[in-house]
Amino acid sequence: MSTVTIVLLVILAILIAAVIVLYFLGKRTQKKQAETQAQIDAAKQTTSMLIIDKKRMPVKESGLPQAVIDQVPRLMRRSKLPIVKAKIGPRIQILIADDKVFDLIPVKKEIKAEVSGLYIVGVKGIRGALEKPVEKKKGIKGLISRFRGQKQGQA
């Protein structure tokens, strides 16, 4: 056999091994995520709250308790989390919102939220339905629509 075929076989073997490792890591991560979701669902409560402010910010700047910041993995400490500042009863609390519901949360309005610890899992409006935010077009279609909107606005 030539050296080219040996090199190709070694590369193929490495790729197959990498795919197998990623498959088993993915299964393990999926199990952990399912267990975590079961715990969140078991502990969630519905509370009414007045949303004061919401924004995406790093964990260190969020104002969360130090015990919570210490539990965040090191790789996640620099990433921005969806943080919500809300008045629940007489207390003002800082909560972490799920990415799915963060855009639905209205600012300076009262809502009913499903909360599991410091984590907002679901949102419902107290007075009527919540307005869904307008989704921005991404990619080339969004670029074209923004360009056309600017052209029409100038004329």
- CB neighbour class for 98 (10 Å; exposed up to 12, middle 13-18, buried from 19): middle
Clarify whether residues 78 and 121 are in a common domain: yes
11 and 80 assigned to the same domain: no
Q: For residues 59, 63, 64 and 69, what is the CA-based torsion angle, rounded to 10 degrees?
A: 40
Domain that holds residue 113: 45-125
DSSP 65: -
One domain, residues 34 and 52: no
Separation of alpha carbons 50 and 14, rounded Å: 54
- Specify whether 59 is located in the same domain as 100: yes
Q: Are residues 57 and 89 in the same domain?
A: yes
Same domain, 24 and 58: no
Q: Give me the residues of the chain with pLDDT under 50, please.
A: 153-155
| Residue 55, pLDDT score | 94
Do 37 and 49 have their domain in common? no
DSSP 80: E
Asked if residue 152 is part of any domain, the answer here is no
